[in-house]
Chains A and B, each alone.
Chain A
Amino acid sequence: MNKLNNFFFKFFGYFLLLIFLAALDLAVVKALPTPFNNLNLSITVLVFVLFIFGPRQALLAALGLGLISDFYYFPSVGINTASLFIALVLTNFLLVNVLTDKSLYSLLALTTAAYFIFYIGLYLFNFVITSLSGTEFDIIFNQYFFTSKLYGWLFCLITAAIIFYCLNYIDKRYKPFFLVKKNR
């Protein structure tokens, strides 16, 4: 009974946390003035979860966040869930095989990879869906498109660095950005 209670509270806690994150992303970040509204909070947090807690927790969180995003996305065909999933799987591959060092450099590189993979996936899925449904692919690749994505990337990196330093303040296991030179 106790185990069941624990599981229920844990599940409920995760659920509330995901709703809080999705609400922040949908209602707060999107309402911020340009260019701050280009921040992708979901990707930043998910990469951080992957970095600290591992792929299982990150994929579970991605599933929940993707699902909530798709509820508020038109047309809802699960493209946010699928894009987040692909982005995290590929980022995890990089974490396991290439960027194994748990430093700020790795976190920033992983955030960069996840951010661009997510958007490539999202636009590709969107293109496929519009092609299949016979509607027009109305995304304009103008200067605004590229600058907004660059700003989004920049803000994701800044947010990731802030979260990393907050964690570093609490737990010293993660390597800081600048290595301290001793006995020189």
Chain B
Amino acid sequence: MSKKNKKYLWKYAAVVGLLIFLFLFKASSLFEGYFSRVVNPILKPLYSLTAKLRIKFDEQTSKEDLNFQVKKLNEERNSLIEANSKLQLLEEENNVLRDQLGFLTRNKHHYVTSNVISRGDLADSSQISETIIIDKGLHDGIYNGLGVVSGNGIIVGKIVDTKDEIAKIYLTNNPNCKLATTILGDSKTSGIVEGELGLTMKMNFIPQTANLKKDDVVVTSGLEENIPRGLVVGKVAEVKGESNDPWQSAVIEPLVNPDDLIIISVILP
């Protein structure tokens, strides 16, 4: 290397050192905020376009399973129609009772809708997305610990880190994402659901006395600060545990494919 280049090398090293210093003391956050405001609108359509292409690609490759899925979904739809009619009756009855009791407030959440602009993290442990980055941050009222739902109201993750204009979300399949939940059904068991190897979720330490069934719906219990009760997490796919074990565990199947997320909503308290 020539003497001239060596001189430049030391200059660059000094600049890198200075930048690290600025990052450490958060002096760069103002510039970071302005920069993100300019670049986020570029990232948003690029990510959305590529993600849509990926979803189309995945759909093409999984066509073989389509017939089986249609059959299964038809059966599920029929049972849901039946369940829905029962629920409609209950809703009407509930409305009448609420009016009578003078309930004025219903549990309406405030949302901040945002776009996914990037995904992936150094700590990801599987092929499926475990972490995403969205284009809203501290300036939009988002902070750590808030719940994140997909378009159809299913909880998909939690805010774990925020900057002025962006935020990082651990999805429910991430081993570091833990949610306080309840299993709907006869047992009403409560517990912590956490991601398992990026593929599914698991719920541990369920008493043997709890009567769990496959397809039982798991919802948030409301015991966790900032995460409201009743948000759907997933369905029980498998119940594990020998009869002589004090505890059993359940494998929870997510209802949303983490790879398909493009727009999400952050629930504000």
Contact = CB atoms under 8 A, between A and B. Distances in A.
Interface of A: 19, 22-24, 26-28, 30-35, 37, 54-56, 59-60, 63, 66-68, 70-72, 74-78, 81-82, 85, 89, 92-93, 96, 122-123, 126, 138-140, 142, 144-145, 148
Contacts of A33: 54, 57-58, 259
Interface string B4-36: 010011001101100110111000100010011
B43 interface: yes
Given A30-B118, A33-B58, A139-B122, A77 B50 contact: no
A55 B8 CA distance: 9
Interface residues of B, number: 51
Contacts of B168: 74
A28 B47 contact: yes
Contacts of B119: 30-31
13 contacts: A23-B39, A27-B118, A31-B46, A34-B128, A59-B9, A70-B23, A71-B35, A74-B160, A78-B22, A81-B19, A89-B9, A144-B126, A144-B127
Interface of B: 1, 5, 8-9, 12-13, 15-16, 19-20, 22-24, 28, 32, 35-36, 39, 42-44, 46-47, 50-51, 54, 57-58, 117-128, 133, 160-161, 163, 166, 168, 175-176, 197-198, 259
A21 to B, nearest CB: 12
Given A30-B118, A72-B118, A78 B8 contact: no
